[in-house]
């Protein structure tokens, strides 16, 4: 044949292999997704770089180094604290005979229903300079505050306390799925439980521990609400400050660019540490792991577990309940602010639905069609992890105000913020679900006469529904709790629950903040609990 | 028995397209599959998964593609099924070109049934729904009868309401087969279908599948790396090595007259003894053998010797000694050291014991004399 | 695989999908509603919600005009308004001090309007070009904790605070609070750069604690965490309302004293506002008796209009005021920011 037509066939072959059977809508969707996710960041970086000398004078400032140091230190301390809080319970709950451990496992995710900024202000009421502890101490005759939650240490404490479930979950998962043969071999060699843990279990856990730790680190880097309430000066608070005091956004853009760089480095480290295992695969068919009897350690272990849970769930909720005063004021807040609740609900739901759809598409392309397109798409959707809420808000404002002004100032901006920030969670949920589905199933369907789309619809979709649903709920919960980007993106009169909590905290209306917080927690706790039950059932049956 | 078989011969139903009538002839049977110089490369011309393969399969025939892992047999199967597109060559199914330079028919339009190594049953559907999956294009009435036939054929009629996870491995495999057969495809492709089964079940299931396919009169192409399996099921065997089809022949021919040294070693055990062609005879240290292949004088060749070609007789005068004895239940496998230092193997009866270290004389009686060039090519 | 079974039986996903579709369409409709209703008056307020909301609600009740309120930091909102200048979203901007409005006026994004109701306002509390109008005032005072500061010790001047006896016991809100920024600019104007800088430096050496917000300051003083705080007059009354043991002093009142700075909360209409008429009505409303009384009695602000009953609040006539024009404060802003990075 003539070389031209051979070349054409080769090109067609490549195209075919990438998007075979999916056609034009797939191409359009791909382009759209990449544009949507990459454009804000690109625009931000351009703004930062074109800032000129004035902008870079901030970078050269000596206070910049101390800002970087402070931010990294905060994140590091928070991560360490989260590991201390998350690792022992993970081992106790999966490897010992602690009574009630199944319940504790299910409840273990609940701290994630409490956003750190709510945790922050409840701990301020307890441990702040005018908090309960200090007031009680002063009533008893002491002078001056003995404990002050404001500052770096307080920030690390609170952040770690409300993010340790990430570590708990990842490590528990790894422990449940690991092969007991190794530990049994160690036992045969004469090691006791501690020895086994140090020499065998811990090295096996290292990957998931690292993955969870990096997740916490990333979270701490990008947190805004808690650190600003606790008066820690980090990048996010500084960016917010710049946006609120100066009449140009150049400085904020430069700071944002640096923060994104820091976050990107951490993110790449995390990806590398996970390698191909970005989700834990359950190994069916292995024997259950050894359970160590606790004996006289039962009580301390119980205390430890309940203490951790207490500090991160029971105590804050109790404090909130106390702050409200009476159930009437809770109802009153609900009535007065039902449209804030509605705003939160519908924007989160729309964002979750859009994210699930796009996420499924991206996950499918990257899993089933290995190639440059899939890779590009996955990287684009992962950008949300690397961009803290404040930065995302800023970049969306910069982009849409300049190029798409009719979108700017509507609630769509808020939805976009949620979508871009939490798309990675949806992608991950779908990817995990897809990975469990045998690719041969789709081929079997095709050999039996279905087109690619039909095979997807009739075979793949029913099987991944639980995973996609879990992803939807994750995005929903995250969007409900989101504060930093919403603060920047919301149009006038359009407040969400987190924004109300924030405003109330700032204006020291702790009772109002408490009421709204309880409503928010109640709404996010339910899907969270559902997801954990779904997960537990799946793992039990495997 | 039954309607599927009749339909097989009387007409060919291709999913989604019109029915093509076929004339009833006893022989020669029509070609169902034809591959003509098919190639497939990966990594842009650097790795040839399949290189210039040509063969054809008659209707009702069972062809087995045999070879080690990575030889391209699965790729060939996927090319026929339509999950991969060839880089060169032509593929025809029932006389219709499905893949060529500018033509590519997607899998759903090829009328090819496939049974996967891990069965790939749809876990969210019952057995009945699984089997019905490919029957969307027929009426509900016909669906019911075809499903019943298919399940009957594989012997699982009572299990139609079960879900795949409730079945044993062997049962799942039979459902997979029924599902592939139900739409009366042109050909059924099976990718190492028995490798996931326990060894003790394998033989029985193999038998069953073989008879099912024969009963249905279906054309089938198997892919396997197990030589014994290939010989048992196949009408013809095609041996692939590194993407090339080295020999396509009846199992007996493959075993007794392998075309390449690779095949000789892969299919059954073989030892190679150097020899020299001297006119009508080939001289080796095991004796002389007739020059059956008409090789030119003076050629240096290697003679293929199988363990069952060698007989051992204890003989103090000989210089060959028995090195080891392996009792294998049905026979004894001896490793013998020849005076030249070369080792060969011999199969002896189950009760024939020869102590290691005993000197033996060797009687070589190969049924076929097969010689290879030093390159490994048969002459 | 039993999970698949169970989920099939539950069939919750179909319902979930339907529910989300419902939410989606409802949300889209609602969003259209917020976009389409251009009849809503959009107010950006740097003044706290607790202070401004009662006024807004009263306005809504009296006129029936719906208001969309967005509260935040004054500078941030001003920033946003500059961003949005091509397509202004806000109709009204309420700032915590007038310097920022002078800056915005210079950028040309304000719409001139002189409310007839504000006719009687003294000239220093409104823009010469009618671009902004002062609503009510707040004085820069010193509040102290009565338990920690006994009668003989009460500081009478802000310069007293550099004394060692106040070490580590003074609080102030940082320059994120525009009233602090204005106060610093006033100091620079009155004392000159060098003297102002050395004063502040000495304060910082004396352990001046810089807090994010004025509410942190009065709560800190009220709880005894700090002995004195430099803040705005309404916060004294708020502390009293919270039953905290605080006292107030209007410093530097002597014949040679510099006086007390008064920051007016000011309102301006945005150029290109969608609802110009309603914006004007709102500005008029701000100077009505009911609104002014709310500000004075509820938010403890100093009335700038004559004829309003000050109640507990010390009126303008009750103390010596630091004389400086808002334009001047606006001009000094950049220099002040550069001079006091620590605040």
- pLDDT tens sequence across A138-172: 778 766 677 888 889 999 999 999 999 988 888 88
Does C342 have pLDDT greater than 90? Answer: no
| Cβ pair C87:A405 closer than 8 A | yes
What distance in Å separates residue A172's CA from the closest CA in chain B? 27
Q: Cβ contacts (< 8 Å) between B16 and chain A: which residues?
A: 449
Q: Give me the pLDDT at residue C12, please.
A: 42
| Cβ pair A6:B85 closer than 8 A | no
Strand ranges of the sheet holding B271-278, from the earlier edge strand across to the other edge: B287-290, B281-284, B271-278, B300-305, B371-372
pLDDT string in tens for chain B (379-residue length): 333 333 333 333 333 333 334 444 446 788 899 999 999 988 766 677 888 999 999 999 999 999 998 888 999 999 999 998 998 899 999 989 999 988 899 999 998 999 999 889 999 999 999 999 989 888 889 899 999 988 988 888 888 889 998 998 888 988 999 999 999 898 999 999 888 888 888 888 888 888 888 888 889 999 999 998 999 999 999 999 988 999 999 999 999 888 888 898 898 888 888 888 888 888 888 888 888 877 888 888 888 889 988 888 888 888 888 999 999 989 999 999 988 888 999 999 888 888 898 898 888 888 788 888 776 555 5
Check: CB of residue B224 under 8 Å from CB of residue B66. Answer: yes
**In this structure, is the dihedral angle defined by the CA atoms of residues A452, A454, A457 and A459, taken in order, positive or negative?**
negative
What distance in Å separates residue A177's CA from the closest CA in chain B? 21
Is C1 in CB contact (< 8 Å) with chain B? Answer: yes
Check: CB of residue C327 under 8 Å from CB of residue C185. Answer: no
Nearest residue in chain A measured CA to CA from B190: A444
Q: Give me the pLDDT at residue B377, please.
A: 57
Q: How far apart are the first and last CA of chain A?
A: 55
Query: Which residues sit opposite B301 in a β-bridge?
Result: B275
| Cβ pair C31:A469 closer than 8 A | no
**In this structure, is the dihedral angle defined by the CA atoms of residues A173, A177, A183 and A184, taken in order, positive or negative?**
positive
For A96-201, where are the alpha helices, taking DSSP H only?
Answer: 101-107, 116-127, 132-139, 152-177, 180-188, 193-196
Neighbours of C255 (CB within 10 A): 5
Q: Give me the pLDDT at residue B23, please.
A: 42
Query: Which residues sit opposite C127 in a β-bridge?
Result: none
Considering chain A, what is the average pLDDT of its residues?
81
Is B136 in CB contact (< 8 Å) with chain A? Answer: yes
Query: Which partners does chain B have (≥3 C-beta pairs < 8 Å)?
Result: A, C
Q: Cβ contacts (< 8 Å) between B120 and chain A: which residues?
A: 438, 440-441, 443-444
- CB within 8 A of B190, min separation 6: which ones? B114, B115, B209, B220, B221, B222, B223
Kindly tell me the burial class for residue C164, based on how many C-beta atoms sit within 10 Å of its own C-beta (0-12, 13-18, 19 or more): exposed
Check: CB of residue B246 under 8 Å from CB of residue B263. Answer: yes
**pLDDT, tens only, A52-71:** 666 667 667 777 888 889 99
Three-state secondary structure of chain B: CCHHHHHHHHEECCCCCCCEECCCCCCCCCEEEEEEEEEEEECCCCEEEEEEEEEEEECCCEEEEECCCCCCHHHHHHHHHCCCCCCEEEEEECCEEEECCCCECCHHHCCEEEECCCCCCCCCCCHHHHHHHHHCCCCHHHHHHHHHHHHHHHCCHHHCCCCHHHCCHHHHHHHHHHHHHCCCCCEEEEECCCCCCCHHHHHHHHHHHHHHHHHHCCEEEEEECCHHHHHHHCCEEEEEECCEEEEEECHHHHHHCCCEHHHHHHCCCCEEEEEEEECCEEEECCEEEECCCCCCCCCEEEEEECHHHEEEEECCCCCEEEEEEEECCCEEEEEEECCCCCEEEEEEECCCCCCCCCEEEEEECCCCCCEECCCCEEC
- CB within 8 A of A500, min separation 6: which ones? A337, A340, A512, A513, A516
Average pLDDT of the segment spanning C62-80: 87
Which of A47, A121, A244, A458 to probe the C interface (max C CBs under 10 A)?
A: A244
Pick the range with the lowest mean pLDDT from A216-225, A508-517, B173-182, B367-376: B367-376
At which residue do the structure tokens 């430099």 appear? C230
Pick the range with the lowest mean pLDDT from A345-359, C6-20, C121-135: C6-20
Does A97 have pLDDT greater than 60? Answer: yes
Q: What are A5's two structure tokens?
A: 């037509």
Element (H, E) at A381: helix A372-386
Vertex A277 angle, CA A276 and A283, to 5°: 130
| Cβ pair C49:A503 closer than 8 A | yes
- CB within 8 A of B200, min separation 6: which ones? none
Nearest residue in chain B measured CA to CA from C5: B124
Check: CB of residue C167 under 8 Å from CB of residue C217. Answer: no
What distance in Å separates residue B115's CA from the closest CA in chain C? 21
For residue C71, give the 3-state DSSP assignment. strand
Rg, C-alpha atoms of chain B: 25
Q: How far apart are the first and last CA of chain C?
A: 63
Q: Give me the pLDDT at residue A20, please.
A: 52
Q: Give me the pLDDT at residue C254, please.
A: 86
**In this structure, is the dihedral angle defined by the CA atoms of residues A13, A15, A16 and A18, taken in order, positive or negative?**
positive
> Regarding predicted confidence, which is higher, C49 or A282?
C49
Q: Between C31, C43, C79, which is nearest A411 by CB?
A: C31
Nearest residue in chain B measured CA to CA from C7: B124
For chain C, where are the alpha helices, taking DSSP H only?
Answer: 2-10, 12-36, 49-63, 74-83, 99-107, 178-191, 193-205, 214-223, 233-241, 276-286, 289-299, 326-339
Nearest residue in chain B measured CA to CA from A441: B120
Nearest residue in chain B measured CA to CA from C6: B124
Counting one residue from B and one from C, how many pairs have CB atoms under 8 Å apart? 9
Check: CB of residue B361 under 8 Å from CB of residue B318. Answer: yes
Nearest residue in chain A measured CA to CA from B115: A444
Which of B120, B179, B186, B193 to probe the A interface (max A CBs under 10 A)?
A: B120
Nearest residue in chain B measured CA to CA from C1: B165
Alpha carbons within 13 angstroms on the beta-carbon side of residue B277 total 20
Q: Give me the pLDDT at residue B21, please.
A: 41
- CB within 8 A of B371, min separation 6: which ones? B275, B277, B282, B293, B295, B301, B302, B303, B304, B378, B379
Element (H, E) at C172: strand C170-173
Q: Give me the pLDDT at residue A382, please.
A: 78
Q: What are B134's two structure tokens?
A: 């490919």
Q: Give me the pLDDT at residue A194, please.
A: 79
Which of B121, B124, B127, B129 to probe the C interface (max C CBs under 10 A)?
A: B124
| Cβ pair C27:A350 closer than 8 A | yes
Query: Which residues sit opposite C41 in a β-bridge?
Result: C67
Nearest-angstrom CA–CA distance, B32 and B55: 11
Check: CB of residue B91 under 8 Å from CB of residue B99. Answer: yes
For residue C41, give the 3-state DSSP assignment. strand
Q: Give me the pLDDT at residue C178, please.
A: 84
Check: CB of residue C117 under 8 Å from CB of residue C287. Answer: yes
| Cβ pair C2:B165 closer than 8 A | yes
Tell me if ipTM is over 0.85. no
Check: CB of residue C182 under 8 Å from CB of residue C260. Answer: no
Nearest-angstrom CA–CA distance, C302 and A226: 35
> Regarding predicted confidence, which is higher, B15 or C243?
C243
Nearest residue in chain A measured CA to CA from B14: A449
| Cβ pair C2:B164 closer than 8 A | no
| Cβ pair C4:B164 closer than 8 A | no
Does A486 have pLDDT greater than 90? Answer: yes
- Report the candidate in A161, A262, A270 with the shortest Cα–Cα distance to residue A208: A270
Nearest residue in chain C measured CA to CA from B164: C1
Is A397 in CB contact (< 8 Å) with chain C? Answer: yes
Q: Give me the pLDDT at residue B91, please.
A: 94
Q: Cβ contacts (< 8 Å) between A465 and chain C: which residues?
A: 7, 13
For residue A363, give the 3-state DSSP assignment. helix
Q: pTM for this one?
A: 0.79
Q: Give me the pLDDT at residue A118, please.
A: 93
Pick the range with the lowest mean pLDDT from A112-116, B225-229, B265-269, C337-341: C337-341
Neighbours of B249 (CB within 10 A): 17
Is A302 in CB contact (< 8 Å) with chain C? Answer: no
Q: Give me the pLDDT at residue A286, please.
A: 55
| Cβ pair C3:A246 closer than 8 A | no
Which of A134, A224, A240, A247 to probe the C interface (max C CBs under 10 A)?
A: A247
Q: Cβ contacts (< 8 Å) between A138 and chain C: which residues?
A: 224
Is A409 in CB contact (< 8 Å) with chain C? Answer: yes
Q: Give me the pLDDT at residue A3, please.
A: 42
* Number of residues that this document lists for chain A: 542
Element (H, E) at C246: strand C246-249
Nearest-angstrom CA–CA distance, B239 and B237: 6
At which residue do the structure tokens 């197990």 appear? B226
Three-state secondary structure of A466-516: HHHHHHHHHHHHHHHHCCHHHHHHCCCCCCCHHHHHHHHHHCCCHHHHHHH
For A235-314, where are the alpha helices, taking DSSP H only?
Answer: 235-245, 250-274, 298-309
Does A258 have pLDDT greater than 90? Answer: no
> Regarding predicted confidence, which is higher, A323 or B180?
B180
Q: Name every residue in B having a CB less than 8 A away from some CB of C.
A: 123-124, 163-165
What distance in Å separates residue C11's CA from the closest CA in chain B? 13
- Is-cis flag, bond preceding C22, omega within 30? no
* DSSP secondary structure string for all residues of C198-236: HHHHHHHHTTPEEES-HHHHHHHHHHTS-SEEEEEHHHH
**pLDDT, tens only, A330-383:** 888 888 888 899 999 999 999 999 999 888 888 888 877 667 777 778 778 777
Is A474 in CB contact (< 8 Å) with chain C? Answer: no
- CB within 8 A of A341, min separation 6: which ones? A334, A497, A519, A523
Query: Which residues sit opposite B348 in a β-bridge?
Result: B332
Does A283 have pLDDT greater than 50? Answer: no
Q: What are A522's two structure tokens?
A: 């109640």
What distance in Å separates residue A254's CA from the closest CA in chain C? 17
Pick the range with the lowest mean pLDDT from A5-19, A494-508, C15-29, C147-161: A5-19
- Of chain B residues 64-93, which have a CB less than 8 A from chain A? 81-83, 85, 87
**In this structure, is the dihedral angle defined by the CA atoms of residues A528, A531, A533 and A535, taken in order, positive or negative?**
negative
Is B42 in CB contact (< 8 Å) with chain A? Answer: no
Q: Cβ contacts (< 8 Å) between C40 and chain A: which residues?
A: 493
Nearest-angstrom CA–CA distance, A452 and C52: 59
Q: What are C8's two structure tokens?
A: 């099939």
Neighbours of A45 (CB within 10 A): 16
Query: Which partners does chain C have (≥3 C-beta pairs < 8 Å)?
Result: A, B
| Cβ pair B123:C2 closer than 8 A | no
- Of chain A residues 135-154, which have a CB less than 8 A from chain C? 135, 138, 145
| Cβ pair B123:A6 closer than 8 A | no
Is A475 in CB contact (< 8 Å) with chain C? Answer: no
| Cβ pair C89:A491 closer than 8 A | yes
Pick the range with the lowest mean pLDDT from A1-15, B220-234, B365-379, C179-193: A1-15
Nearest-angstrom CA–CA distance, A236 and A224: 6
């Amino acid at each position: 044949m003539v070389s031209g037509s051979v070349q054409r066939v080769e090109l067609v072959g490549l195209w075919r292999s990438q998007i075979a059977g999916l056609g034009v809508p797939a191409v359009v969707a791909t382009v759209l997704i990449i544009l949507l996710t990459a454009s804000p960041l690109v625009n931000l970086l351009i703004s930062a770089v074109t800032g000129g000398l004035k902008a870079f004078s901030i970078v050269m400032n000596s206070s910049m180094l101390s800002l970087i140091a402070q931010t990294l230190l905060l994140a590091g301390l928070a991560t360490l604290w989260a590991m201390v809080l998350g690792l022992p319970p993970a081992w106790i709950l999966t490897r010992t005979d602690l009574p009630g451990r199944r319940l504790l496992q299910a409840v273990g995710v609940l701290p994630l229903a409490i956003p750190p900024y709510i945790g922050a202000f409840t701990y301020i009421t307890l441990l702040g300079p005018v908090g309960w502890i200090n007031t009680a101490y002063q009533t008893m005759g002491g002078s001056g505050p003995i404990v002050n939650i404001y500052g770096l240490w307080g920030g690390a404490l609170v952040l770690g306390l409300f993010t340790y479930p990430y570590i708990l979950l990842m490590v528990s998962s790894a422990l449940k799925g690991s092969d007991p043969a190794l530990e049994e071999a160690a036992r045969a060699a004469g090691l006791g439980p501690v020895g086994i843990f140090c020499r065998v279990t811990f090295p096996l856990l290292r990957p998931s521990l690292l993955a969870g730790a990096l997740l916490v680190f990333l979270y701490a880097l990008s947190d805004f609400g808690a650190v600003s309430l606790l008066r820690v000066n980090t990048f996010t608070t500084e960016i917010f400050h710049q946006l609120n005091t100066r009449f140009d956004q150049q400085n904020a853009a430069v700071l944002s660019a640096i923060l994104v760089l820091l976050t990107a480095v951490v993110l790449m480290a995390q990806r590398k540490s996970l390698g191909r295992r970005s989700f834990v695969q359950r190994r069916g068919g292995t024997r259950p792991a050894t359970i160590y009897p606790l004996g006289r350690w039962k009580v301390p272990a119980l205390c430890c577990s309940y203490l951790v849970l207490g500090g991160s769930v029971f105590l804050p909720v109790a404090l909130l309940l106390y702050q409200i005063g009476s159930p009437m004021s809770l109802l009153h807040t609900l009535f007065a602010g039902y449209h804030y609740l509605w705003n939160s609900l519908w924007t989160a739901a729309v964002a979750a639905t859009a994210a699930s759809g796009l996420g499924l598409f991206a996950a499918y392309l990257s899993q089933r069609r290995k190639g440059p397109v899939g890779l590009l798409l996955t990287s684009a959707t992962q950008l949300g992890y690397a961009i803290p809420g404040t930065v995302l808000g800023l970049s969306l404002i910069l982009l849409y105000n300049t190029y798409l002004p009719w979108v700017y100032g509507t609630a769509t901006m808020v939805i976009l913020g949620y979508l871009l920030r939490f798309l990675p969670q949806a992608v991950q949920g779908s990817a995990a679900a897809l990975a469990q589905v045998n690719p041969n199933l789709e081929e079997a369907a095709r050999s039996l006469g279905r087109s690619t789309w039909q095979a997807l619809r009739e075979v793949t979709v029913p099987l991944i529904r639980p995973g996609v649903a879990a992803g939807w709920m994750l995005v929903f919960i995250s969007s409900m709790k989101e504060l930093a980007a919403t603060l920047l993106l919301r149009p006038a009169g359009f407040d969400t629950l987190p924004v109300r909590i924030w405003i109330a905290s700032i204006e020291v209306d702790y009772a109002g903040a408490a009421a709204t917080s309880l409503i928010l927690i109640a709404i996010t706790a339910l899907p969270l609990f559902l997801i954990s039950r779904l997960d537990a059932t799946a793992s039990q049956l495997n | 028995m039954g309607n599927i078989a009749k339909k097989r011969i009387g007409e060919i139903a291709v999913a989604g397209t019109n029915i093509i009538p076929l004339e009833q002839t006893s022989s020669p049977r029509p070609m169902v599959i034809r591959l003509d110089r098919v190639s497939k490369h990966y990594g842009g011309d650097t790795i040839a998964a399949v290189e210039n393969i040509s063969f054809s399969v008659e209707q009702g025939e069972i062809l087995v593609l045999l070879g080690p892992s990575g030889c391209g047999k699965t790729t060939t199967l996927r090319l026929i099924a339509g999950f991969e597109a060839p880089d060169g060559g032509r593929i025809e199914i029932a006389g219709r070109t499905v893949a060529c330079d500018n033509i590519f028919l997607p899998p759903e339009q090829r009328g090819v049934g496939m049974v996967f190594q891990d069965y790939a049953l749809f876990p969210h559907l019952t057995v009945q729904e699984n089997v019905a999956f490919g029957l969307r294009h027929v009426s509900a009435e016909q669906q019911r009868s075809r499903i019943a036939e298919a399940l009957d054929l594989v012997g699982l009629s009572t299990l139609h309401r079960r879900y795949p996870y409730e079945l044993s491995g062997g049962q799942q495999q039979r459902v997979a087969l029924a599902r592939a057969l139900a739409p009366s495809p042109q050909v059924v492709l099976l990718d190492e279908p028995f490798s996931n089964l326990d060894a003790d079940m394998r033989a029985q299931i193999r038998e069953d599948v073989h008879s099912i396919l024969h009963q249905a009169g279906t054309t089938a192409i198997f892919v396997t790396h197990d030589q014994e399996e290939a010989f048992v099921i196949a009408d013809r065997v095609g041996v692939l090595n590194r993407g090339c089809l080295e020999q396509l022949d009846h199992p007996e021919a493959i075993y007794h007259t392998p075309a390449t040294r690779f095949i000789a070693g892969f299919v059954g055990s073989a030892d190679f003894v150097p020899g020299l062609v001297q006119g009508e005879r080939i001289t080796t240290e095991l004796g002389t053998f007739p020059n059956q292949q008409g090789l030119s004088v003076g050629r240096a060749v290697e003679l293929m010797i199988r363990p069952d070609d060698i007989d051992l007789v204890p003989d103090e005068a000989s210089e060959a000694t028995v090195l080891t004895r392996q009792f294998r239940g049905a026979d004894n496998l001896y490793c013998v050291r020849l005076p030249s230092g070369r080792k060969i193997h011999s199969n002896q009866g189950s009760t024939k014991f020869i102590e290691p270290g005993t000197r033996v004389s060797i009687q070589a009686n190969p049924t076929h004399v097969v010689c290879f060039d030093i390159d490994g090519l048969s002459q | 695989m039993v999970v698949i079974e169970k989920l099939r039986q539950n069939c919750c996903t179909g319902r979930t999908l339907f529910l989300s579709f419902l939410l989606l369409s409802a949300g889209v409709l609602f969003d259209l509603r917020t976009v389409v209703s251009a009849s809503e008056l959009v107010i950006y307020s740097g003044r706290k919600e607790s202070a401004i909301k009662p006024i807004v609600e009263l306005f809504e009740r009296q006129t029936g005009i719906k208001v969309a309120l967005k509260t935040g930091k004054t500078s941030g909102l001003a920033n946003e308004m500059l961003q949005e200048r091509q397509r202004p979203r806000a109709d009204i901007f309420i700032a915590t001090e007038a310097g920022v409005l002078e800056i915005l006026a210079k950028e040309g994004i304000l719409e001139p309007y002189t409310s007839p109701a504000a006719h009687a306002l003294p000239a220093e509390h409104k823009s010469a070009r009618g671009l902004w109008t002062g609503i009510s005032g707040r004085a820069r005072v010193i509040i102290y904790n009565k338990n920690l500061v006994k009668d003989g010790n009460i500081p009478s001047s802000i310069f007293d605070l550099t004394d060692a006896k106040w070490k580590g016991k003074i609080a102030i809100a940082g320059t994120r609070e525009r009233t602090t920024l204005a106060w610093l600019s006033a100091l620079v104007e009155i004392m000159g750069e060098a003297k102002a800088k050395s004063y502040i430096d000495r304060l910082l050496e004396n352990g001046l604690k810089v807090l994010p917000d004025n509410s942190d300051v009065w709560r800190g003083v009220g709880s005894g965490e700090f002995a004195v705080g430099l803040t705005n007059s309404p916060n004294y009354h708020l502390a009293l309302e919270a039953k905290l043991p605080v006292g107030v002093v209007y410093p530097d009142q002597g014949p040679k004293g510099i006086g007390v700075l008064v920051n007016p909360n000011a309102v301006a209409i945005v150029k290109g506002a969608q609802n110009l008429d309603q914006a004007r009505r709102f500005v008029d409303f701000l100077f009505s008796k009911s609104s002014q009384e709310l500000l004075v009695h509820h938010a403890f602000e100093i009335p700038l209009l004559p004829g309003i009953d000050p109640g507990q609040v010390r009126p303008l006539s009750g103390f010596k005021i630091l004389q400086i024009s808002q334009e001047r404060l606006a001009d000094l802003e950049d220099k002040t920011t550069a001079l006091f990075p620590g605040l």
